[in-house]
Structure 1
Amino acid sequence: MPLCLFLILLAGTIVTTAVSAPSQVTLTTPDFTMSANPDTLSIPAGASGTSTITLVSIDGFNGSVSLSAPSPLCPSPQCTTWEISPSNVIVAPNSTATATLTIFAGGEGAAGNITVYGNSGSLSHSVSVAFKIVSSGGTPDFTMSANPNMLTIMQGSAGKSLIILTSINGFQGNVSLTPPVSCLAIGCPTYSVNPMSVYLNSSQNATAGFTIQTYPRTSNLYSCGFKPTRLYNFC
């Protein structure tokens, strides 16, 4: 930091005084960012898919943001169309706001990129979501697997496994997870799952943690089943 030196003459004595120069000030402009999750969707023909558009305030931005995602004028049932809702969000300082982009799939094989625009005064940003329309052959569903699917646990310790849910045929939605009910005898292991509900979309796996807690009197071998809202078991 530069110093300015002043010489002061007091009664014949020279006194040197150092004064710091003002620090440089950096000015920031309030703004916002936009992101999409997921940013790629595979949607069965005739179905619909969604992406969450998230707006984040930076440097204290506070204001209304107008959202738009122009959809093609296409009267044919084979056309893919989309909409953004709500079309206007309030982004508070140091906070976030969300909107939902819904894509209505037309004929199989269509693909493209959707641009969502956000405007607030002189500020303008955008984010893109890619989509592909796939065959609707088969009922939307999901599968479950565990990694690892076998655990060796010392008595009195805990073991963990990762539960992986995978969408098939474009399944998309919330899945409730229910761990096994422990027996009431002394030494029975207990089970827990976190989180107990996951959102699964058609282009991305969902995961949850499964924990088995044993006790000093837990017997040597237990087999357990794990259920979502549909009856898929493993262990």
Structure 2
Amino acid sequence: MPSVLMAHAAPSYAAGVSEGQWASYAPLNVTYRDTTGFIPEPQYVKDLNDTVSLTSIVETLYTATNVTVQVVSLFKNNTMRTEFENGDLMTGEGNLTYGIISSGLSSGDAIWTKSDAPTINYTLPMTYLGELRTVNVLNTTTSSPTMYGDSKISVEYIWDQTSGIVLEAKFLIVEFFPGIGDVVMYTDVKITATNVFSVPTPDFQIAVNPTAFSLQAGDSKTSTITLTSLYGFTGLVSLAASPSASASLSPDSLTLTSGGSVTSVLTFSTTTTTSPGSYVVTVTGTGYSTHHDATLSVTVTAPSTGPYFTVEASHPSSVTSGSSATSTITVSAVNGFSGTVTLTDTVPSGLTCGAITPSTITNSGTASLSCSSTTPGTYTLTITATNGTTSHTVATTITIAAAPSQTPSAPATILGLDPTVFYAIIGIVIVVVAAATYLGLRSRSQKHGIPSRPTTTVP
């Protein structure tokens, strides 16, 4: 990779970020491969793969070089972890390390003043978040022989030259065991959103469908609320409907991932004493830094004096992927309604549902419908009840949660993006050494005819 030669004075170490600036990173996915058959995927790799996003927020600038950063990690099980990191951008002291470096550095500059500080390899233009930036690149590869093979660790950091924030980090760790196999771990973490340079602020959009409907007093009807991530927005959005006496939401909070969409069901309920007229329901979605509204127009007409029926569907509690959630469908006869009501469903992609049982109800009664999915998410399911030329629809939500996982513990941060990355590097070396020792002992036992002892694995 050719460097861009730039004339510059001796480096002046100072922060290029301001308090309140932030950057988000995702995904923290780790590719892990073991062909030896002796080293299963470590827990810290699973923890990294359970991380949805990581956001670093500049909290305090104590001096021109002393920076404190708040790091917020969001996990797939909707838990969060907050840590604080502090470091000196000139000396490299503290646990901030590679997360932020001084601004204005370029090729050939040491990232800190201490004697063992690494040196920037290249300064060149690269595009991040749709904007061309001048970046500093540091990459190192170390190889060393072991008793049973070779090991190689490659690390690459890419920083924004103006602000000093890290834009991308790559790690590759390989342990070779000739004639047996190898162990490989790789991750590439990139910036997904920031307010440091001129990219749109992460946001979300809220929409209602349909935006208007009418119903008789005594009936209920539903509309689907859709939230869509914009510009890398990731996080929890709380929903509220007004007037709350008539409108309810299921679920009333949703987690958005970057570029994704999620749905909730708004149910507008009336009684036979509800006054006919026009109503406006306002749905408000509130995220960690912004909120948006959407409106639904409802027309309530006088209740029918003749016989008719209503249909409702319960919103089951969230279940984990692979488990079934069951909604109860209730058909109610009003004003002496008598007849057979046929129930059908419209199932969204990604959700698998059994048959509605029973599929017909005479006069009044209940039926059930069970659904499941292997893909976590919130699914909107529509039920249609038909009698002759009259039909009513109702929607319900099926929420599938990821299998529960333990929130990773929070050791002191060593590397800039996430503390567990450091332990991934150290941990895999420890695991590999342990495996190599085991293989060596087994080889010696077989060579000298010594029977191997039973082994006990200590978690």
User: Which TM bucket (shorter chain)?
Assistant: 0.3 to 0.5
Q: Which has the higher contact order (CA 8 A, sep 6+)?
A: 1
The two structures have a TM-score, normalised by structure 1, of 0.46
The two structures have a TM-score, normalised by structure 2, of 0.25
Greater helix content: 2
